[in-house]
Structure 1
């Protein structure tokens, strides 16, 4: 039996999925703690042993082994642009869509202090943007010179004003900086072009970053690490939504991925205004959009979730209002491998998950703003309108192990008490019960039709 082994070296768990490529079935899944501090293969070997026990009577031959990774902190980047709301924001969106954690966004001309900050930030890649094509070129050239003169040794993706590229290449060619030039992330005002930059980031991740993250041992076993894990999830979401050459997609959707450190939201929708008389304002939104909320996690950032949400917001979802919210969040942040066992612990985790879903969706979706003019009130939309979205897809441990996953996801839907946020009004709810989203993103690189069919088959519809 010919099969693919799809591997996700996650920040907490290494997850394995075996797929029969002839019958298009998931043969088995397994997971174990990711052991990046010692040897990444230690945790992998334990998960693999578990997987092979499940397959021992099936005579499986793995014809290909593909992996994605967010181990060792995942892909960490900074984005540099000109105007905060324009090219700097466009650069940030390109980096997020490539599966990165964006540690900081810099605008205008870099200072010596900022160069030192970049050098001390434990980064993997810098995305250098700035200026529309034919527009301001002095700023991006200044920033390239500052990076070169400051002794920055990180890979740099140049995705800014094309008029400045020749000068930037001259600057970087006098150093040993590894750089790649791609198309401008904002060729025209308010127009995004993020896919070329995303692809260059992915290539650097594959060719340069993996070895630096202690993944070299894994390369001897697998066929290749294709992309960061969040990029794999975004790929799966997009192909599930749009479909493939032979398979119909299921329509506009959002994936809510609640993790120990972050809550990631991936939306696949154009987000155009759904109500008459509403005008769009601000930067164009990417069709496939990802946002990462580093203060909304279940373990590593449990304390920052409490700080962001406040006690009353978490208590709203708790039956026992006497529970000490701060103490419980602090305990989870200090015991990141805690597994809830009592009914009270489970309910508290689910309350945290609802708050994370609610707040992460508020930050991801668009908002309606009313503007008073001499002609009366007009309404403008900033961001994506997801009111008529068809599906919310949930993934992540707290959802998978919950007895009420639909209730957690419903926290991310439209709230009549907060109507300016354009959250989905009546979506269907799907659950990634077997952790296959990242695996299907990997599979979709080679077999998109099969990936769509498997997701349709294995994602569970919630009532």
Structure 2
């Protein structure tokens, strides 16, 4: 059956779904099957990605990963010609096949805008939201001379360029000048000798004809609606849609083997980060919640958020756990990392650990000291990435949100961030250091320490990094994607309840009353304390908190709140360390409190962990 017919298949008739994610090093395949009327993820396989030589064909890795899934499932998925079998019949084939990709470095873009703080910022948000890595931003006020900008455009070789500038009906001069700067640079794409560089124009619509005149036939120019039609509004969706279309039609069509992969797929192939953002948006919309997701890798850390229906994504390209670990240490500074280390460690040995991780990025800690240090670095990488995200996710995001011109040019935009920890309902972590921590309590502790959730926040982790698969599936069959996300993708760690308010040594922070099937606890929390209560995966508990004046759980300073907390593999965490999280300046007091947190959270239960410094 051909692909077009498959796309028209009734969702109720889809029983077997095959999905792959072609990563930069590994291609991951999962099988989703309808069992007793519900969709469940049943089998998983992986194989090395083969976009590079000697294979130079991405479908080779796909076939290898899918073959492994088929062997595990006892289902023949690949025929004698190396093609995916469809539709499903008995124990053969699948009903639909979908895929995401970040192979070959993913989608790499350059953006250009007239004013860095305005049109260029809007263009960058559109590119990031579409799942791109933004290599550079060219703008009229970026302090580089024209010849330096031209040289930069020639050096980068992006997959495509997004050009924006000017409000509709406003000045045309500056955005036309930008077009006339890009045109003579003759930007060359990464793939394909005869491939025309795609340029998307999303600026002042009245300058459309002048911009078209600036470019010759060496580029593929696409015009969409202005990302900044008026000063107080953003309209990012048309630019994002154009980026996705061009990614599929032009970028991937010239990458090794992708034409065949595109012909196999029953839905447009999406950039992996774009698909992750898509499933997070879908979940937030369906459940009516605010959600935050993070994917921490070896070189970069991606942060995704949905607050009040507005989606944002940032890429911290210099914050990672292997290739970028030295950047984390330099940006955070060693003292900030060591505030999470409760063991005696030689500073010189720590420096060697950092260098060894850069030289051998795939190694994992072999000792308790190595694990404690790596998780301390992870906390700071996540914290710094989150700061960058909050600074980027400012109030001007959707057409319904506004800010004044004075706010736009303000140097301090942190107060205008739409990211509000008190409103955060769900925090999802993924990436090796979070997903594969030896103890899930460690995962929960890293997330709480780095993101400092306030009020009540549910903590979860992506079990086997299937969010990209589900993100593209949500475009085809949202019910199946949501069911698998809830039942198989997320591992719920539990709930964190914490007030906003400053740390005051020795002072009572709040009183609590917990009642549930297996819990009946009352007590008080002193500033600096953490408490962990067992609350099983399918359990819930009612938590009543009465804060002292100066502490706020969401109702206001000193106001009583009642929460319905869900359990998980870790349980219920009460956190009275204050927000923003501060640690005692005195080293002895700090070590005593840090050790108490480690022991209360049962982070390293194998040995007694009293600090000996």
> TM-score if structure 1 supplies the norm length?
0.85
Q: Distance in 2 between matches of 1:118 and 1:65?
A: 37
SS at match of 1:120: helix
2:71 to 29, 53, 71: 53
Aligned residue in 2 for 1:228: 271
- Alignment pair present for 1:7 and 2:20: yes
- Alignment pair present for 1:190 and 2:232: yes
1:390 to 417, 425, 444: 425
Instruction: Compute the displacement of 1:99 (Å).
Output: 0.4
Aligned residue in 1 for 2:129: 97
Instruction: Compute the displacement of 1:151 (Å).
Output: 2.1
Instruction: For 1:294-313, list aligned pairs within 5 A.
Output: 294-313=317-336
Aligned residue in 2 for 1:262: 300
Instruction: Compute the displacement of 1:444 (Å).
Output: 0.4
1:2 and 1:60 in contact (8 A); partners too: no
Instruction: Compute the displacement of 1:312 (Å).
Output: 1.6
Q: Which has the higher contact order (CA 8 A, sep 6+)?
A: 1
Instruction: Compute the displacement of 1:359 (Å).
Output: 1.2
Aligned residue in 1 for 2:313: 290
Instruction: Compute the displacement of 1:138 (Å).
Output: 0.8
SS at match of 2:299: coil
2:426 and 2:457 in contact (8 A); partners too: yes
The 1:229/1:346 distance shift into structure 2, 3 A limit, reads same
Aligned-pair Cα RMSD in Å:
2.4
SS at match of 2:365: coil
- Alignment pair present for 1:26 and 2:60: no
Instruction: Compute the displacement of 1:424 (Å).
Output: 4.6
1:236 and 1:444 in contact (8 A); partners too: yes
String of CA shifts for 1:237-268, please: whole Å, max 9, x gaps. Answer: 0001101xxxxx25110001111111111000
2:262 and 2:269 in contact (8 A); partners too: no
Aligned residue in 1 for 2:151: 116
Which protein shows a greater Rg? 2
List alignment gaps of at least 5 residues for structure 1: 244-248, 271-285, 369-378, 415-422
2:462 to 428, 432, 435: 432
The 1:343/1:44 distance shift into structure 2, 3 A limit, reads farther
2:246 to 195, 198, 204: 204
1:413 and 1:425 in contact (8 A); partners too: no
2:166 and 2:172 in contact (8 A); partners too: yes
Instruction: Compute the displacement of 1:433 (Å).
Output: 0.8
Instruction: Compute the displacement of 1:393 (Å).
Output: 0.7
- Alignment pair present for 1:353 and 2:366: no
2:382 and 2:451 in contact (8 A); partners too: no
2:153 and 2:185 in contact (8 A); partners too: no
Greater Cα shift, 128-137 or 150-159: 150-159
The 1:185/1:326 distance shift into structure 2, 3 A limit, reads farther
2:153 and 2:182 in contact (8 A); partners too: no
SS at match of 1:134: coil
Instruction: For 1:18-417, list aligned pairs within 5 A.
Output: 18-21=31-34, 23-38=38-53, 39=55, 40-56=58-74, 59-108=91-140, 111-153=146-188, 154-172=197-215, 174-216=216-258, 218-219=261-262, 221-223=264-266, 226-243=269-286, 249=287, 251-270=289-308, 287-323=310-346, 324-365=349-390, 381-387=415-421, 388-402=423-437, 403=439, 404-414=442-452
Q: Distance in 2 between matches of 1:30 and 1:350?
A: 28
Instruction: Compute the displacement of 1:425 (Å).
Output: 4.5
2:390 and 2:414 in contact (8 A); partners too: no
Greater Cα shift, 399-408 or 319-328: 319-328
1:2 and 1:61 in contact (8 A); partners too: no
Q: Distance in 2 between matches of 1:311 and 1:42?
A: 44
The 1:94/1:434 distance shift into structure 2, 3 A limit, reads same
Greater Cα shift, 201-210 or 312-321: 312-321
SS at match of 1:72: helix
1:15 and 1:47 in contact (8 A); partners too: yes
Greater Cα shift, 49-58 or 304-313: 49-58
The 1:413/1:147 distance shift into structure 2, 3 A limit, reads closer
Instruction: Compute the displacement of 1:219 (Å).
Output: 4.1
SS at match of 1:319: coil
SS at match of 1:297: coil
Instruction: Compute the displacement of 1:389 (Å).
Output: 0.7
Instruction: Compute the displacement of 1:353 (Å).
Output: 1.9
Q: Distance in 2 between matches of 1:207 and 1:155?
A: 10
Q: Distance in 2 between matches of 1:380 and 1:317?
A: 25
Q: Distance in 2 between matches of 1:198 and 1:321?
A: 50
Q: Distance in 2 between matches of 1:85 and 1:35?
A: 40
2:267 and 2:476 in contact (8 A); partners too: no
> TM-score if structure 2 supplies the norm length?
0.65
